[in-house]
Structure 1
């Protein structure tokens, strides 16, 4: 198994671990539950919107398909990795709603895996698209950022 296959396997394992069985261990305030549910739904929508841009060329691997193109509009105008951003938001919401430590730990693993995938994917994108990708990277945050926050957009 190569490193890329290992990242895909780790992503699948982390997503599966979000469903760790067992009873809830603590209560959530109604506001916390509402925010978590919003993150779950909003994240799923963002991830789906990003995935739909790729159509049949969608792949879990970090190397873009040969026939792929650089997406800069729609969800890709607010995040260089809307699929990963959406997965992280949805998984965070789900982990909080589960009210158990194991899904929260799985979310942390997912964060590390998706950050690693994003960084490796960007190496491929710079190699393929050169200055066009560098310009896109300079104006678009890797994940999401707070609007108007100076320095929040970093490569």
Structure 2
């Protein structure tokens, strides 16, 4: 499978920077590695980054893009940077933290499961998966597998993984930051659904009627 070297370089930099923020927040490498769960968190982050190298996800605007939704990317970027650093900082300071090592390991588990759920649809969609809200050339509606249950499995994975990251640092502030991802995600989902509804018409309406938008059984 071919690797997009520009995207690969961006992924490597992003993973390294994210882990560096966490180490910095914890007060250095020695403090960070004092917790086995955080070592596992770093290893899972690296593994997910390696897996991402072999996806075909992109930032293509395709045939048609809702450019008015690009503000969501800026929010994701800001909240993402805060999540990289702040939970680790509050962990070191003992500010609004809770639980012990069991909470950390629960966080690692959720981060791994959420990360896998986040990246699996990128493999499924291939070049049709764009970081922008856009219809791609030869766009087809996928309605089986994970998409047969929830219409946005990758976004569900993002929320689960960010919650897991916060819990790995036992951070109440981190949980609040993870919750801040929900409003822009919902805005992005509505934008995508509008485009897909226009493209696929009654086929998409029927698909919406038999699946959940984000949380199975809830929403």
1:43 aligned to 2:114?
yes
Task: Give the match for residue 171 of structure 2.
Answer: 100
Count of matched residue positions in the alignment of Structure 1 and Structure 2: 147
TM-score, length basis structure 2? 0.61
Given that 1:11 and 1:110 are in contact with CA atoms closer than 8 Å, whether structure 2 keeps it comes out as yes
Task: Give the match for residue 128 of structure 2.
Answer: 57
TM-score, length basis structure 1? 0.83
Task: Give the match for residue 138 of structure 1.
Answer: 209
CA distance in 1, matches of 2:112, 2:82: 19
State the Cα distance separating 1:120 from its structure 2 match: 1.1
CA distance in 2, matches of 1:77, 1:33: 32
**Structure with more contact order per residue of length (Cα contacts < 8 Å, sep ≥ 6):** 1
CA distance in 2, matches of 1:130, 1:35: 42
Gaps of 5+ in 2: 1-66
CA distance in 2, matches of 1:102, 1:23: 8
Q: CA RMSD in A?
A: 2.0
Task: Give the match for residue 15 of structure 1.
Answer: 80
Task: Give the match for residue 81 of structure 1.
Answer: 152
Given that 1:7 and 1:117 are in contact with CA atoms closer than 8 Å, whether structure 2 keeps it comes out as yes
CA distance in 2, matches of 1:74, 1:12: 29
Structure 2 SS opposite 1:19: helix
State the Cα distance separating 1:31 from its structure 2 match: 4.6
Gaps of 5+ in 1: 147-151
State the Cα distance separating 1:68 from its structure 2 match: 1.9
Task: Determine which structure has more spread, i.e. the larger CA radius of gyration.
Answer: 2
State the Cα distance separating 1:48 from its structure 2 match: 0.8
Given that 1:14 and 1:110 are in contact with CA atoms closer than 8 Å, whether structure 2 keeps it comes out as yes
Task: Give the match for residue 138 of structure 2.
Answer: 67
Task: Give the match for residue 149 of structure 1.
Answer: none
CA distance in 1, matches of 2:106, 2:173: 20
Where has structure 1 moved over 6 Å in runs of 4 or more?
A: none
